[in-house]
Amino acid sequence: MLDSKNLRENIDTISSNLKKRKFILDKSKFLSIDKDRKEIIVDTENLKNKRNVLSKEIGILKSKNEDAGSILKKVEEINNTLDLKQGLLENAETQYNNFLLDIPNILDDSVPIGNSDKDNKVIKYSNDKNLEILNKNSNFKDHSDIGKSLKLYDQEIAAKISSSRFSLLFGELASLHRAVAQFMINEHINHNGYTEVNVPLIVNSDSLLGTGQLPKFKDDLFEIKNKKDFFLIPTAEVPLTNIFRDIVLLEDDLPVKYTSLSSCFRSEAGSYGKDTKGLIRQHQFEKVELVNGVNPSTSDESLELLVNSAEKILDLLNLPYRKILLCSGDTGFSSSKTYDLEVWMPSQNSYREVSSCSNFKDFQSRRLNAKYKNKISKKKQFIHTLNGSGLAVGRTLAAIIENFQNNNGDIEIPEILRPYMNNSKIIKKSS
RNA sequence: GGAGAGGUGGCUGAGUGGUCGAAAGCGGCACCCUGCUAAGGUGUUAUACGGGUAACUGUAUCGAGGGUUCGAAUCCCUCUCUCUCCGCCA
């Protein structure tokens, strides 16, 4: 949510900024909504003031045992008009709030202008030497076929147990999955300054409103039916970021950096027929999430650090990937600037997103009411929040399987993961 | 799941219908004192939004939402969270 004061005072600048992401701000509508609301507020406040003054007089008269009849009548009149105004006020407030909630975040100046993902800017390609080796593999298969032929992956049984878009991993592939997750979160804890948090996987609607999944993106969520106001988390961003909701941090405590390995649940409504094979698009998947609450003066640097932490995982796994700066048209609603990391998926001959790192500035913290106390001004100010995946575990596993497959269908275990796999080097078909 | 108790300012804790945004203490801040010295004194100290150059001033907020009333921290209803006991349980 944008700062309404800022919007009022800089409406032209903000409007042209939002235009970059194809959002047309109805300036005159905002100004009139804003003005109407204010007039009604001033109006009702004045009436309330009158009532308060008169009520006090009544109290004084009554304590002296004097008659307060005439004043009572006046107050009654005031209350009647106040009742009428109340409806108007509520109406004006809803209009005002809805208008503000529908406005996306202001884009950072460094975000390239563009319409779609085609206009995203590639910052760099990494580890691309693997690419050549892979292209020479004549028996090349996708990760789900490799898993199946090793008898370590099954989607059909998962469909029986649950439904489509679920998977079962067996044996060493299950272990490898766990190893990937362990490795990732350990990196962030041990080398990137993160505090591990174990979070609730079920959250209430307030939390989802705070991070922006609600009200706009309800269809993407799993809602728990028999328990009202319960949802499965689509990402650990929700519980982690909501740690900051309604609290005031000390400036010296910033930045606060939390990480969590959690399951994530997404309904994937509207993606029928897309990525039906394999681990790419599942209703349930694991992800290591990184969340920062920072001093507003340092959030630009924090975003770079955050994306570097995620990149390092791919580097250490020696997976080919590219780093992308999303263009104005592709940057998410709440984000002011977003980097994506995309890992090379040879079977699809394309790069697939494994991480998305965003700086929300004060857009989320305003909704969350997440503040810190400024040491100099002693004022409470909104923190800046950031988050990023570090990384999506299932997709990373798929990328490992595909990029580290051998001609004979075995999977080589990336060196950095071997300590997590009893030092074995390879996953072979058991005969 | 059953029974009970309770949610008041940074903290502790008064306040059961009327000059209560809220006593007192602690803590914080400012100044003063400097032979009561790991002390003493005085003052000050919530947040959000609005009006005013400013002094100042208005409205709202005592877990949340609704209700009663001219007037609610205080009465009624619903919800929620915490604590204690019992049951169940990984």
State the ipTM, two decimals: 0.83
Structure tokens at A153: 């992956």
Of chain A residues 32-71, which have a beta carbon within 7 Å of strand B? 38, 41-42, 45-46, 48-49, 51-56, 58-60, 62-63
Rounded to the nearest 10 degrees, how much is the dihedral formed by the CA atoms of A124, A326, A116, A318? Answer: 40
CA distance A187 to A231: 30
pLDDT band at A266; cut points 50, 70, 90: very high
The pLDDT confidence band at residue A418, using thresholds 50, 70 and 90, is very high
Q: How far does the CA of A359 sit from the C1' of B58, in Å?
A: 38
Q: How far apart are CA A392 and CA A237, in angstroms?
A: 13
Percent of chain A with pLDDT over 70: 97
Q: What is the CB neighbour count within 10 angstroms for residue A396? A: 27
What's the gap between Cα A370 and its chain centre? 15
Nucleotides of B under 7 A from a protein CB: 18-19, 47-50, 58-60, 70-71
**What pLDDT shows up at residue A337?**
97
- Between A16 and A94, the more confident residue is A16
What's A22's DSSP letter? T
Residues with Cβ within 8 Å of residue A154, at least 6 apart in sequence: A148, A167, A168, A170
Distance A196 CA to B12 C1' (A): 33
- Does the pLDDT value for residue A329 go beyond 90? yes
The pLDDT of A306-329, averaged and rounded, is 96
In this structure, are residues A268 and A241 in contact, taking their beta carbons and an 8 Å threshold?
A: no
Give chain A residues 375-394 with Cβ within 7 A of strand B: 379-380
B60 C1' closest Cα residue: A45
Per-range mean pLDDT, top range of A61-70, A79-88, A92-101, A175-184: A175-184
Q: How many residues does chain A have?
A: 431
The distance (Å) linking the CA of A379 with the C1' of B6 is 33
Confidence band of A132 (pLDDT split at 50, 70, 90): low
Does residue A156 lie within 7 Å of nucleic acid chain B, judged by its CB?
A: no
- CATH class label, A117-427: alpha beta
Beta strands in A273-419 (DSSP E): 284-294, 321-325, 337-345, 350-361, 371-373, 380-382, 384-392, 411-412
CA A344 to C1' B88, whole Å: 51
List the one residue out of A329, A326, A328 whose CA is nearest residue A388: A326
Structural tokens at position A232: 């499965």
Amino acid identity, position A386: L
Q: Which nucleotide has the shortest C1'-to-CA distance from A228?
A: B79
